[in-house]
Structure 1
Amino acid sequence: MSTPPPDPRPCCVPAGPPAAADPTLGTPARTGSTDGTERGVDPTELATIPAGRAVLGDHFGDGYAGDGEGPVHEVELSAYRIGTTSVTNAAFAAFVDATGHRTLAEVEGYSAVFHTDVAATVADVLGHSPATPWWVGVRGADWRHPEGPRSGIEDRADHPVVHVSHDDALAFARWAGRRLPTEAEWEYAARGGLEGRRYPWGDELMAGTDGEWQVNIFQGAFPATNTADDGWTTTAPVTAYRPNGYGLHQMVGNVWEWCADWFDPKAYDARERRDPRGPASGTVRVMRGGSFLCHDSYCNRYRVAARSAAPPDSTASNLGFRCAADAATDRPDSPHSPDSPDSPVEKENHA
């Protein structure tokens, strides 16, 4: 495996709006609250993750120094539940239909799309990210139009929803009576019961006697040519690949997933041993799992230990989420329930 350059985090999602964004589109705005909205149902099945000891972090030295994947450390986690898949377009559509929620990308009028995937007129291409020109600001790109106004999700009901900000993910979780997973919960679940492995299925990227693909990532010469050897150029259906040992699909690849924690590259140095929750504050939120745009030459973050982060108002065509919940209950008086003042969801709604 080739050695990537230091800390290329902007390859993951663009670090801000594109250059030459149309000023008539307005400034970023918070999306509507779902406070007081009748609770809905997320059809995504939840897998129960047993309480236990987890040895987390980069066991191989694969990570980027700025990501803070070390030191390898042990935590103890209470039992919890987590979605067997990312939240799908169908599930998110039900939430929008029930609440009238408008995502941040819809409010702002544009979002980021990878340059080879753009489905829009020239007039709708607003500019490129200065640091990473393969990210393009596209007017009309949002969760219903993942590549721009000339795309749609009619045939992608079972694909992960994308172009969702951290607030959008929290709004869905609150409506569904769920929450976002903590970073520790996410990694423990992603490992699928395997300790000290590189991927959810083991240490080798290609698995099985036939060298079968286990993950939706970028093949070819990044960022110009995606050969789609794994069968997909953008998102894949959420169950397109075999699940890990806990029954969870695509914990790496396909789309980045928001976590509850604020990001700090030094977080592991002072991490609580029991049910760690991450820093109390910050400027960027944790993302986990990599996406269909990860490539070992530039963004080797489709590993279970890999960490990255983005501002909570980031939206892009490779950024989604999955939900979590307590093991035994979603009662409002549960300390992790979205209605509890002590819950990560409630605290983040008021951060």
Structure 2
Amino acid sequence: MSLTGCLLVVMAAQALAADTRATNPPEGMIWLTGGVFNMGSHLPIARPDEKPVHAVKVDGFWIDATEVTNAAFQRFVEATGYITTAEKAPVLAEIMQQLPAGSPEPAAELLKPGALVFSMEKHRWAWVLGANWRHPTGPNSSIEGKAQYPVVQVSWDDAKAYAHWAGKRLPTEAEWEYAARGGLVDKTYSWGDESPYEGKPKANIWQGSFPLNNTGEDGYLETSPVQAFAPNAYGLYDMAGNVWEWVEDWYRVDTYAQRAGKEVVLNPQGPTTSLDPEEPNIPKRIQRGGSYLCDQHMCASYRPSAKMKSSPDTGLSNVGFRCVKDAAASTSTQ
């Protein structure tokens, strides 16, 4: 067969695969063909862990159009009997390993099931006993009537367990940012460069001055339904705001610096270990997308390149996740 003939066969096979994906998508997922994009940010507001900007190539993958909802997570729990991190008492030995040497033991109240909650009334974070995915802000709260809101108070470990059950996985940081950018090049936000505070609300973020005043001009003071705001150009909802989303990667402040000089990084899987100079004793995973607690002055972390990091066993009232699914095996470089 001639070279031209070989190319035609390959192109036909690719077209057939693309057509199959278009007509038989996994429920609630969108196919992204993959490609090369500039990862990171050169903006003055960008933090050190967003720099330098570097070229990354990701292969095609399926991604959930929305964050995983309370309804979906409840189906997982009912099918498996899974108990989330926040529903189990913390293990003292594990806590002590994360504290500096010589630290006193935590108070007994902190060794009971609970999670971190941001109090709108007290304007601060607090450990709340009884807070979990069913009761996001404490025992007196409920997800009743919020089936299509994003599940929160799920740790990275919980998100991984759900993804495995669903036949999916968590996205890599690179896949997540590629998806969030929606095909736009070097834009500040997932919708372009227009301020989120101009025109029609574009995302569920903090309106006003954090943490003292949230005007709720976007219609929500806390989480919102997963399709309450317009999707990006790829048809993906809440890639900015609503809740932070766990991704697969360990956090290292120098990850991007280590990639400097490479022409294109292929399907990066992230570092093999974590390093956060601010808390070197605590290994952390990355979260992306920002949340309803982000404002333009505090962090503006609803930008596609921005990130946060937390211990993988941590649940918070503004953190959820979405999943991806492979099309085929792929190659990678860190």
Class of the TM-score when normalised by the shorter of the 2 chains: 0.7 to 0.9
TM-score normalized by the length of structure 2: 0.78
- What per-residue deviation string (whole Å, max 9, x for no partner) do you get for residues 210-266 of structure 1? 711101111122112211110001100000011111110010100000000001111
User: For the residues of structure 1 that align with 2:209 and 2:58, how far apart are their CA atoms?
Assistant: 40
Q: Where does the alignment leave 5 or more consecutive residues of structure 2 unmatched?
A: 1-25, 90-112, 275-282
TM-score normalized by the length of structure 1: 0.74
Match of 2:79 in 1: 98
Q: Percent identity?
A: 48
Match of 2:202 in 1: 214
Q: For residues 49 and 117 of structure 1, do their structure 2 counterparts lie closer, same or farther at Cα, with a shift above 3 Å needed?
A: farther
Match of 1:225 in 2: 213
Q: What is the deviation of 1:206? A: 3.4
User: For the residues of structure 2 that align with 1:206 and 1:105, how far apart are their CA atoms?
Assistant: 33
Asked if the contact 1:114–1:135 (Cα under 8 Å) also holds between the matched residues in 2, the reply is yes
Moved more, 296-305 or 236-245: 296-305
Asked if the contact 2:29–2:64 (Cα under 8 Å) also holds between the matched residues in 1, the reply is yes
Query: Which of 29, 38, 47 in structure 2 is aligned with 1:64?
Result: 47
- What per-residue deviation string (whole Å, max 9, x for no partner) do you get for residues 173-215 of structure 1? 00000000000000000000101011111011238xx711101
User: For the residues of structure 2 that align with 1:206 and 1:137, how far apart are their CA atoms?
Assistant: 31
Asked if the contact 1:50–1:79 (Cα under 8 Å) also holds between the matched residues in 2, the reply is yes
Q: What is the deviation of 1:308? A: 1.6
Are 2:170 and 1:180 equivalent residues in the alignment? yes
Query: Which of 257, 264, 274 in structure 2 is aligned with 1:269?
Result: 257
Asked if the contact 2:59–2:330 (Cα under 8 Å) also holds between the matched residues in 1, the reply is no
Moved more, 228-237 or 217-226: 217-226
**Counterpart of 1:60 in structure 2: which amino acid?**
L
**Counterpart of 1:110 in structure 2: which amino acid?**
G
Match of 1:325 in 2: 325
Are 2:262 and 1:281 equivalent residues in the alignment? no
Q: What is the deviation of 1:57? A: 0.8
User: For the residues of structure 2 that align with 1:58 and 1:216, how far apart are their CA atoms?
Assistant: 22
Match of 2:131 in 1: 141
Count of aligned pairs: 272
RMSD: 1.9
Query: Which of 68, 71, 78 in structure 1 is aligned with 2:59?
Result: 78
- What per-residue deviation string (whole Å, max 9, x for no partner) do you get for residues 265-314 of structure 1? 11112237110010012211011001000112212211001122111111
**Higher-helix-fraction structure:** 2
**Counterpart of 2:273 in structure 1: which amino acid?**
S
When Rg is computed on C-alpha atoms for both structures, the one with the higher figure is 2
Q: What is the deviation of 1:51? A: 2.2
Q: For residues 140 and 239 of structure 1, do their structure 2 counterparts lie closer, same or farther at Cα, with a shift above 3 Å needed?
A: same
Q: Where does the alignment leave 5 or more consecutive residues of structure 1 unmatched?
A: 1-42, 119-132, 329-333, 337-341, 343-351
Q: For residues 243 and 185 of structure 1, do their structure 2 counterparts lie closer, same or farther at Cα, with a shift above 3 Å needed?
A: same
Match of 2:240 in 1: 252
Q: What is the deviation of 1:117? A: 6.3
Partner-residue secondary structure (3-state), 2:232: coil
Query: Which of 165, 169, 189 in structure 1 is aligned with 2:179?
Result: 189
1:17-56 alignment, distance < 5 Å: 45-56=28-39
Asked if the contact 1:44–1:85 (Cα under 8 Å) also holds between the matched residues in 2, the reply is no
Match of 1:114 in 2: 118
User: For the residues of structure 2 that align with 1:144 and 1:117, how far apart are their CA atoms?
Assistant: 21
